Amino acid sequence: MSEANDNSASLRALALRIDELVLLSRRLADENRSLRQSQEALVSERANLLAKNEQARSRVEAMISRLRALEQNG
| 47-61: pLDDT as tens digits | 999 999 999 999 999
Q: Is the pTM of this model over 0.85?
A: no
What letter would DSSP give residue 74? -
Sequence-distant (≥ 6) Cβ neighbours of residue 40 within 8 angstroms? none
61 HSE (CA, 13 A, CB side): 6
Distance CA(66)–CA(74), nearest Å, equals 12
Distance CA(13)–CA(3), nearest Å, equals 15
User: What tens digit of pLDDT does each residue of 12-64 get?
Assistant: 999 999 999 999 999 999 999 999 999 999 999 999 999 999 999 999 999 99
